[in-house]
Amino acid sequence: MQGKIIKALQERRAQIRARWEALLRIEKVTTPLANPDTLVFGLDHSLDEIFAALRQPPPHTPESDLAKAEGPSPWRAYFRAGEQALLESLVLLQAEMDSLDPAARDTSFGKLKQVINNLTQREIGAWAGICQQTGKPRRARPAGKPATAHSAADHARRSRAHSSTGA
């Protein structure tokens, strides 16, 4: 994606964030954690990740079974709303550009969708991994080590990686 397009999107960050939140608030709440009042706290971090990835997007990863899996996940509506807000902003931005090459336009659109898709898959996969762990016996946590959502997500990713290698 062209640097000038990324910069212009970043300049619209406040509008993108406001639109993302507005879209999120009209989504159906499927779980208590999908409550928009809870999810809005992640918007800035997600936008940071998206803008960083646009500069050097990760390679395309095919949709995983975890991302397609049924079941409640607070991330589905969250990223669906974010994708719409970002793509709307990109399309409006591109419409304002007089000399935008159609190939560059399509490439920018595709890269933005790819970055959002990769982030969505990562978060839904981590969530599914956490949910799979809830039925398993748990080891005692070492004294002085607090439990955090971040550490739980890291544990789920390691567990998935371990199980996918057949070990």
Domain ranges of the chain: 3-164
φ, ψ for residue 67 (rounded to 5)? -70, -30
DSSP codes of every residue in the chain: --HHHHHHHHHTHHHHHHHHHHHHHHSPP-SGGG-HHHHGGGHHHHHHHHHHHHHSPPPP-PPPHHHH--S--HHHHHHHHHHHHHHHHHHHHHHH-TT--HHHHHHHHHHHHHHHHHHHHHHHHHHHHHHHHTTS--PPPPTT----HHHHHHHHHHHHHHHHTT-
Query: Mean pLDDT for the chain?
Result: 79
Residue type, 79: F
* Two tokens, residue 116: 């959002």
Q: What is the pLDDT of residues 22-56, one digit of tens each?
A: 999 998 877 777 788 888 899 999 999 999 999 88
How far is residue 19 from each of residues 13, 15, 16, 101, 109, measured CA to CA in Å?
A: 10, 6, 5, 27, 18
Check residue 129 and give its pLDDT: 72
Q: Mean pLDDT over residues 118-122, rounded?
A: 88
Determine if the pTM surpasses 0.85.
no
Question: What would the mean pLDDT of 134-145 be, rounded to a whole number?
Answer: 54
